[in-house]
Every structure is written in C-alpha cells, then in structure tokens.
Structure 1
Amino acid sequence: MVARFTRWLLCLVGIVLVGFAAFYFITRPSLLPQSHWAGLGDPDIRNGEMVFWAGGCTSCHAAPGAAGGAKLLLSGGLAVKSPFGTFHVPNISPDEKAGLGAWTLADFGNAIKRGVGKGGEHLYPAFPYGSYARMSDKDVNDLWGFLKTLPKSQNVAPAHELPFPFNIRLALGGWKFLYFNDQPRVVLANADDKVKRGQYLVEGPGHCGECHTSRDVLGGFVRDKWLGGAPNPEGKGQIPNITPGSKAVGSWSTADIVNYLETGFTPDYDSAGGTMAEVQQNIARLPASDREAIAAYLKAVPSR
C-alpha cells in the first residue's frame, strides 16, 4: 500500500514538473538576436522625432504636469491605475543609471517589439508593446537615436504596486501566449498606400486600440471589437467608438477627422478633452500626410 502511494506521489510530482517545464518553454521571453539589429545604419533623427510624437512617449514618460520643453525630460513617475494594480511609469531618459543610457539598440528593440526588458524579464503590457510590435526596425532605430539626444534625468520611479498573482512576471508569458502577436488587427482588402500607412500608424506606434478597444477579463483585446470603444481606463466614462459605425466619428468626413487631429476641434466646435487632448497635440506634430492616412484608415476599418 505504501509503495503504491509512493509511486502515485512520484508520478504526480513528475506530471507537475513536466507541466511546469512545458509552460516555461512555451512562455519564456523571446528575444530578437543582436544580429537582427545589425546593418540598420545611422538613425534618421528627424524621423525618430516623428515616431516619438506618433508613439505619444511624453504622455506617459514625462513628469506628471510637465509642459513645453519639460515634456522632453522623460523622467517617468506617472502612476497608472488599472484593474490589476498601479503601474509606475519608468524613466526612459538617456541617464546611464536611472534611465536607458546603458541600454543597446537590441535592448531597446526587444522592449519595443518583444516586451522583454534589459534583464530578460517580461514587461507588463501597460507598456503598449502589443501595438509597438508592429513598428518597423527602421522606426525603432530612428526612435532610439532620437531618445539619446534628449536630456538626462536621475529620477527613479517607484516599483509597481501589484497584488498577487499579477506581481509574478513569469505569468506574463501565458498572457503573451494568448494575446501577443505582430499581425494586422484587421485585414483590409484592396487597401491603397494611404490606408496602409494609416493602419501602420494606428495599429503600431499610435497604439490607438489600447484605449479605444474593449478588453476581456485578462486584459486582452476583444478581437471583434477593434476600435469599437471601451470603458475609460481612468475609471470614469467611456472611450468612444471611432469606427465608421459610431454615432460621432462615423458621421464625420475624412476632412473632419483630419481637422480634428490637427486642431482638436470637432465639426460641431467641441474640443478634445481628457487624455485625448494630449494625444491630439502629439498627432498635430506629424506631417499632414500622416493625419490624412490615419483618417483614411479609420474610414476603412470594419464598423462596430
């Protein structure tokens, strides 16, 4: 009887160990090799600045309340509340100790496109690498080059405040297994170059879906509700539906959308508010052709 119980216990332990090993193998951090980033050449700093504004880097990484030139000091410190706990946005200035000054292009690229930190750890998707994964290697290289021109900050952000089990980074591998990919969010038949450019901006660096798309209980996008609106992550109100099926944006012309992205004013003379005000100000820095491309894409996506 004892021998049978011992065999049963050993079998159970073996199954658990094999299961854990399989889980880790499937969900371990996946890095792009150093060779992936070789041969990109010197970064185009001007394009890097445009990627910077398209990506809204200052909206999270500048000190809360920063204005004007102070927004380029990416000292971090913003507290982002979520259903999973509070995330404290890190310093991404070129400071060698507190920021990214000791990082390489490969370190930065793996954070952007794989959601993996310099130490090989999974990053939390509060940093929208689920969208940034669609960025081109050139844009990542150019953005990295621009970031290195910005002022340094020695500020060290507090650690995230996450309850169990969300404080276990290993579990993020499971989240990535379920939700993380670099494929288009929607398939658009016969899309012209302008729509394709808009898709790249909205689904990639612009990460518009991070706020405008509903999520399930694990924080992954609900696939058939892309850009269809979602609860406000700040806790009050609703982030609007921005597909052609919405009552608001759906009735706007392409020119109306372009004007809104440039000036912040809607066709009925309302103005962008909340966090969208800062997003609009960032997009207003992009070339007019990019705002036109974003508008063309928003007119082409499936209605929700």
Structure 2
Amino acid sequence: LATAPQRLDATEVAQGPGDPARGARLFHAGGCASCHAAKGAKGADRLKLGGGALLVTPFGSFQPPNISPGPAGIGGWSLAEFDNAMRRGVAPDGRHYYPAFPYTSYARMRGSDVADLFAFLNSLPAVAGNPPPGTVPFPFSIRRGIGLWKWLYLDPTPVVALPANAPAMVREGQYLVEGPGHCGECHTPRGSLGGPDRARWLAGAIDAEGKGKVPNITPGKLTWNAGEIADYLKTGFTPDYDSVGGTMVEVQANMAELSDADRAAIGAYLKAVPAVR
C-alpha cells in the first residue's frame, strides 16, 4: 500500500561501524542538541539527550524523545533501525514518524555519515526516562496518512540542480544545508499540507510555532557575501555588528562547532542557490 512505511533496502542501508569522531560533525550540523537536550542546556548538558522542549504547531504538539544510548533512548537500536528512522522516517516498531522530525532533509545524508552519527550518539551519556508525548488531533493522528505525505514530499534528491562545473566547496555546502543541516525545514515556506515549497527554496517562512517569520536567505534577499555568512555562523555577529537572535541562537551555537571549511562551504552554497525576491 502507498501509505505503508517504506524501509531502506539492504543495498541502501548504512554499514558500520561508524566513527564517533566524524559523527560529532554531523551531530552539530544537525543541531541534535537543540531539540533533544533540555531547554537552555549549556556545555556538557547539551550532550544529555533525554528529550527537549515541546514543539507546538498548527498540526499538533510534538515531543522530541530521548535519543541517548540508554534503554529509554536508542540503546537497543541497530544501525539499520537508526538509518531507517533518519532517512525514511520509520520507527523500529514500523510506525511512521511525524515530519516534525526532519527526515525529509536527513534523507539526503550519506549512509556513512548516518553510521558515524550513530556511533557518536552511542558514545554519549545515557539518560533515564522519557518526556510525556505530545498531542496530535484528528485527522493528523492517523499515522498511516503520513505515508501519503511522504509520497508527496520525501525526496532524497538534491533540491538545487547545481551546474556540472560547480566547485567542490559549493557541493559540500549543498550537502550540509540540504541534508544534515536541514536549513530548508525552517527557511522554506510550506503548503497547506505542511510540505516544503521547493520552488521557493530558502525564501523565508512563517515560524513553525507561529512566533514570527524566518528570513529569506537566498541571494534575492540576503546581501552578505559568502565570507560574511561563514563569519556570522562562527561568531554570531552580522557584518554590521548586530548579534544573532531568536531561534537562530541555537542554530548558530551548533554551526560554531563546525570547521571553518564547513562554514565556508555553507556560505558558498547559499550564494549559489536561485535568488527568490
């Protein structure tokens, strides 16, 4: 059936063991702590992934779960189960995950990077317990309907068709932005079914919780050059010395953990995407 959960086949699923040192890069690029650590966590507490703040949206409220390596989290998961969660939005018990978990972006990740991230998560402290679940009203409470949503919107192909001669830096920036960084989940407007409008990729959107607007970061609006974008992600300061604010504070804190080369790649890609006014 079209609505049934679709797992990765044996030729696609990630192969282990992953490298936790490399996995730290994916952890920060993906902003895992921003959702799965306690709200306001700092320092080492950002590595305690027992579940974060409730996400309240027009489709319902969604609770980031415990993803620590303990029995309450992913401690009993196989790499294949983790990969199917990340890249197909399918839980180990076969249920669809709601797309509040940004698997539509993680679907573009390399299997080797998924394995590295899994190894890193399993190196972190185990946290007991799980926060209470969110609430999703009818008809969104019917999880099989998510299968149809995935048929419409779960697409692992790149969003932007880069030219054949695009520099390697731009291609790596595309991977980070469109994949683990999942920037389009907030910066791209959505239709009535909650799916991203790829024709207006990164053109700005209403905040998922209705707390304002997320800006247009295409060259049609963002006038910063690639170096200024990279520096903002590193320091939290704009070219005119304003400071990062709102939900971007968490994102910038994660991006500051990446290498200069990764941030430069992100800046290069953002200057190469189609401009949307």
Give the structure 1 partner of residue 234 of structure 2.
Answer: 262
Matched-pair contact (CA < 8 Å) for 1:55–1:205: yes
Give 1:188 shift. Answer: 1.4
Matched-pair contact (CA < 8 Å) for 1:112–1:133: yes
Give TM-score, length-normalised by structure 2. Answer: 0.96
Which is richer in helix? Answer: 1
Give the structure 2 partner of residue 20 of structure 1.
Answer: none
Mapping of residues 139-158 of structure 1, within 5 Å: 139-158=113-132
Aligned partner of 1:255: which letter? Answer: G
Distance 2:52 2:256 in 1: 25
Tell me, which stretches of 5 or more residues in structure 2 are unaligned?
A: none
Matched-pair contact (CA < 8 Å) for 2:24–2:117: yes
Distance 2:126 2:57 in 1: 29
Matched-pair contact (CA < 8 Å) for 2:59–2:140: yes
Give the structure 1 partner of residue 19 of structure 2.
Answer: 44
Distance 1:141 1:43 in 2: 4
Give the structure 2 partner of residue 302 of structure 1.
Answer: 274
Query: Which shows bigger deviation, 152-161 or 73-82?
Result: 152-161
Give the structure 1 partner of residue 260 of structure 2.
Answer: 288
Partner SS for 2:181: coil
Establish whether residue 226 from structure 1 lines up as the match of residue 198 from structure 2. Answer: no
The structure, 1 or 2, with the larger RCO (C-alpha pairs under 8 Å, 6+ apart) is: 2
Matched-pair contact (CA < 8 Å) for 1:76–1:155: no
Partner SS for 2:144: helix
Matched-pair contact (CA < 8 Å) for 1:77–1:158: no
Give the structure 2 partner of residue 58 of structure 1.
Answer: 33
Mapping of residues 1-304 of structure 1, within 5 Å: 25-33=1-9, 36-37=12-13, 40-96=15-71, 98-189=72-163, 190-246=165-221, 249=222, 251-304=223-276
Q: What does the per-residue CA deviation read over 1:229-280, in whole Å, with 9 as the maximum and x for residues that have no partner?
A: 001223222100000000xx2x211111111011010011111111111111
Distance 1:37 1:230 in 2: 33
CA radius of gyration, larger in: 1
Aligned partner of 1:235: which letter? Answer: G
Distance 1:178 1:225 in 2: 16
Q: How many pairs are equivalent? A: 275
Give 1:222 shift. Answer: 1.1
Matched-pair contact (CA < 8 Å) for 1:91–1:157: yes
Give 1:27 shift. Answer: 2.1
Structural RMSD (CA): 1.2
Give 1:36 shift. Answer: 4.2
Give 1:91 shift. Answer: 0.4
Aligned partner of 1:291: which letter? Answer: R
Give 1:162 shift. Answer: 0.8
List structure 1 runs of 4+ shifted beyond 3 angstroms: 33-38
Matched-pair contact (CA < 8 Å) for 2:58–2:209: no
Matched-pair contact (CA < 8 Å) for 1:33–1:106: no
Aligned partner of 1:30: which letter? Answer: Q
Distance 1:158 1:121 in 2: 18
Q: What does the per-residue CA deviation read over 1:185-231, in whole Å, with 9 as the maximum and x for residues that have no partner?
A: 11111311110000000000000000000000100011211000001
Give 1:26 shift. Answer: 1.6
Distance 1:115 1:106 in 2: 12
Aligned partner of 1:230: which letter? Answer: A
Give 1:41 shift. Answer: 4.1
